Amino acid sequence: PFDWGDNYKLPNMPEKDLVIYEMNVRAFTADKSSGLDPKIRGSYLGVIEKIPHLLELGVNAVELLPVFEFDEFEFQRRPNPRDHMINTWGYSTINFFAPMSRYASGGGGPCNASREFKEMVKALHGAGIEVILDVVYNHTNEADDQNPYTTSFRGIDNKVYYMLDPNSGQLLNFSGCGNTLNCNHPVVMELILDSLRHWVTEYHVDGFRFDLASVLCRGTDGTPLSAPPVIRAIAKEPILSRCKIISEPWDCGGLYLVGKFPNWDRWAEWNGKYRDDMRRFIKGDSGMKGSFATRVAGSADLYSANKRKPCHSINFVIAHDGFTLYDLVSYNFKHNDANGEGGNDGSNDNFSWNCGFEGETDDPSIKALRSRQMKNFHLALMISQGTPMMLMGDEYGHTRYGNNNSYGHDTSINNFQWGFLDKQRSSHFRFFSEVIKFRLMHQVFRHENFLSNNEVTWHEDNWDNYESKFLAFTLHDSIGADIYLAFNAHNYYVKVSIPPPPSKRRWFRVADTNLASPEDFVPEGVPGIENSYNVAPYSSILLEAKLT
């Protein structure tokens, strides 16, 4: 048996205190620039070697893209336009109980994978970092009816394990991957619960993010259910009671459940409306100020029901799907030709803005604006009520050169570029890291409950002005250490009146995204703030009221 150690303990982080880092085990250290021994690049052991980076960044939870055994060569089973690609993301489960064997060191193997996965979890827990798994119970690797690939369930009992059209007997496809697991059939439900219990008891993981979780809200004929048995069973399962459970509340059949996912006051959700509203406000779309305020305040319009809390909103601007943060501010259009689907794959609704030029440029003003916008997005994310999640690589500005659906590239498109990180360490990375640590030092960003009127003041009497793209507000601290924030998405300066600080305190400037590093974020604050501040175009500021 595996030795977890005498002093081993689970982090047991309160949900409201999580800062989640979405990452791919292989891509994290596969690149030569990781500096690791080739035997452990792209492995569970490789993750252990880079825990100091996670601690320096300040995150306290990793959300691992699928680590259940999957077939990375599935695109190469027969000649097709995608047969040059490798499935690096892992959304194609072969076995719901086994860790991906090729993520073990030195070429893999199931026994090594099992042991080294536990070593990784133990080391992350020892560093105070929780482990959340991205799990795929909506479909399997067994493909569609046109090109069936029978490895298990299709050969055992196709009608039980998959949703079938009652008339034609053909597989239903709510996953976009050719088949749909029949999650609310009692046999399949028990398989899912057994699998989840196994990962908690055997591997000590701290939570799960359910890919295309709306599939789990469908009956055996595909009809949406208001109280899906499997969703309820997961919420009520005693062994999972300490776990974070997070839904991706949509599927490829159009069942969009953001804010409406059946939850039993347990399930959190990837908040897709947060992503879209934040993108639109910060890039300067008109009419988004009210939505921006609602999102940074915790999305009460979506989650203030029953006993749900702000932490049930998983806030994100960027995830593995879609553009990276750098690409979000560098491309108006997706550039997916390398995927072999003629540019038809990937989302067209990116709410991105290239800041004046499509793709790479040497123009210093465009580069400065892009840098500012990335900082604006990160600051907005980390001061929002709810649970923030960021994507691996955004801490140095990783680019996929406009590819917004990079699931099949085992290259630098996906692989963490450690040399790029080193170049950004004293500037972009420093800002990202300091903002995360500032969030975790200040309770006003991590309220247990939704904000009351005496916990926030909106400095705004112009909510209905469609063209207004400026918002300022103060988060009130119980001891007076208030935080003032202003976001300017106009293309001109806004001179704003600063409210008087609480008694015996003065305003100190902590953040101004228009300033160059290291002045853009000074954790202890810079004094000398008068009763007005000139907020630059496309920039944001954070002031803290400190005792004098």
Catalytic member of 74, 130, 248, 251: 248
Catalytic member of 69, 72, 211, 544: 211
Kindly give, in sequence order, each residue whose CB lies less than 8 Å from that of residue 497, ignoring residues fewer than 6 positions away: 531, 532
Three-state DSSP class for residue 536: coil
What H or E segment, with its residue span, contains residue 187? helix 186-201
Q: Which two tokens stand for residue 265?
A: 């006051």
Is 248 an active-site residue? yes
pLDDT of residue 133: 99
Three-state DSSP class for residue 468: coil
- Please report the beta strands in 225-323, taking only residues with DSSP state E, as ranges in sequence order: 244-247, 268-270, 313-315
In degrees, to the nearest 5, what angle opens at C-alpha 289 toward C-alphas 283 and 293? Answer: 110
SS3 content of the chain, % helix, strand, coil (to 5): 30, 15, 50
pLDDT of residue 108: 84
Is 130 an active-site residue? no
pLDDT by residue for the chain (548 residues), tens only, comes to 899 999 999 999 999 999 999 999 999 999 999 999 999 999 999 999 999 999 999 999 999 999 999 999 999 999 999 999 999 999 999 999 999 999 999 988 999 999 999 999 999 999 999 999 999 999 999 999 999 999 999 999 999 999 999 999 999 999 999 999 999 999 999 999 999 999 999 999 999 999 999 999 999 999 999 999 999 999 999 999 999 999 999 999 999 999 999 999 999 999 999 999 999 999 999 999 999 999 999 999 999 999 999 999 999 999 999 999 999 999 999 999 999 999 999 999 999 999 999 999 999 999 999 999 999 999 999 999 999 999 999 999 999 999 999 999 999 999 999 999 999 999 999 999 999 999 999 999 999 999 999 999 999 998 999 999 999 999 999 999 999 999 999 999 999 999 999 999 999 999 999 999 999 999 999 999 999 999 999 999 999 999 98
Residue 465 contacts residue 453 (beta carbons within 8 Å) = no
pLDDT of residue 107: 80
Three-state DSSP class for residue 112: helix
Euclidean distance between CA atoms 235 and 264, whole angstroms: 7
pLDDT of residue 548: 87
- Burial label, 320 (beta-carbon count in 10 A; 0-12, 13-18, 19+): buried
Euclidean distance between CA atoms 265 and 166, whole angstroms: 34
Structural domains present in the chain? 15-441 (3.20.20.80), 456-547 (2.60.40.1180)
Kindly give, in sequence order, each residue whose CB lies less than 8 Å from that of residue 464, ignoring residues fewer than 6 positions away: none
Which one, of 543, 513, 499, 359, lies nearest residue 431 by Cα? 513
What H or E segment, with its residue span, contains residue 379? helix 364-383
Euclidean distance between CA atoms 71 and 68, whole angstroms: 10
Kindly give, in sequence order, each residue whose CB lies less than 8 Å from that of residue 295, ignoring residues fewer than 6 positions away: 271, 273, 274, 277, 278, 315, 384
